[in-house]
Amino acid sequence: MAMMRYAEALNTALREAMAADETVFVFGEDIATYGGVFKVTQGLREAFGDRVRDTPISEQTLAAMAVSASMTGTRPVLEIMYADFMPLTLDALVNQASIYNYIWNEQVTMPFVLRTQGGGGVGTAAQHAKSLDAFVAHIPGLKVVAPVTPADARGLLLAAIRDPHPVIILEHKLLYNTRGDVPDQAEPVEIGRARVVRPGADISLFATSRMVLEAEKAADVLAGEGVSAEVIDLRSLRPLDLDAIARSIAKTNHAVVVNEGWGFCGFAAELSATIMDYAFDDLDAPVQRVAALDMPIPYAQPLEERVIPDVARIVAAARRALD
Partner 1 sequence: MPSNRPSADEHLDMHRRMVITRCVEERLGVLHKQGKTRGPIHRCDGQEAVGVGATMALEARDVVTTTHRGHAVYIGKGLDPRRVIAEIFGRVTGYGGGRAGHMLVGSVEHGMIGGNAIVGGSIPAATGMALSFQIRREDRVALAVFGDGAAQTGICHESMNIAALWRLPVIFLLENNDYGLTVHRSEQSSVADYTVRAAGYGMPGEAVDGNDVLAVYGAVAAAAQRARRGDGPTLIEARTYRVEGFSTSDMGGYQDPKEVALWKARDPIVVSRTQLAESIDPARVERLETAAEEETAAAFEAALADPLPEFEPHGPSAPYATAPVHADAADFGEGR
Ligand X SMILES: Cc1ncc(C[n+]2csc(CCOP(=O)(O)OP(=O)(O)O)c2C)c(N)n1
Q: How far apart are CA 193 and CA 177, in angstroms?
A: 24
Provide the residue type at 176 as one letter.
Y
Question: Which segment (39-47, 80-88, 204-212, 248-256) binds ligand X by CB under 6 A?
Answer: 80-88
Q: How far apart are CA 86 and CA 84, in angstroms?
A: 6
Size of the site for partner 1 (CB under 8 A): 47
Q: How far apart are CA 39 and CA 183, in angstroms?
A: 21
Strand 229-233 to strand 236-238: parallel, antiparallel, or no bridges (unpaired)?
A: unpaired
Per-residue x/- track, 61-100, partner 1 (CB under 8 A): x----------------------xx---------------
> By three-state DSSP, how is residue 195 classified?
strand
Per-residue x/- track, 183-222, ligand X (CB under 6 A): ----------------------------------------
Provide the residue type at 69 as one letter.
A
Of the candidates 42, 23, 13, 188, which has an alpha carbon nearest to the alpha carbon of residue 112?
A: 23
| Ramachandran bin of 284, using left for φ above 0, alpha for ψ from -120 to 50, beta for the remaining angles | alpha
CB of 176 to partner 1, least distance (A): 12
Per-residue x/- track, 4-43, partner 1 (CB under 8 A): -------------------------xx--xx--x------
Question: Which segment (151-159, 241-249, 260-268, 274-282) binds partner 1 by CB under 8 A?
Answer: 260-268
Q: How far apart are CA 284 and CA 296, in angstroms?
A: 34
Contact 189, 156 (CB under 8 A): yes
Asked if 310 interacts with partner 1 (CB under 8 A), we say no
Provide the residue type at 16 as one letter.
E
- Selected binder of ligand X within 3, 57, 273, 276 (CB under 6 A): 57
Residues that bind ligand X (CB under 6 A): 29, 57, 59, 81, 85, 88
Residue ranges in contact with partner 1 by CB under 8 A:
29-30, 33-34, 37, 54, 56-58, 60-61, 84-85, 122-128, 262-264, 266, 268, 286, 288-296, 298-303, 306, 309, 313, 316-317, 320
User: Which residues does the annotation mark as catalytic?
Assistant: 59, 128
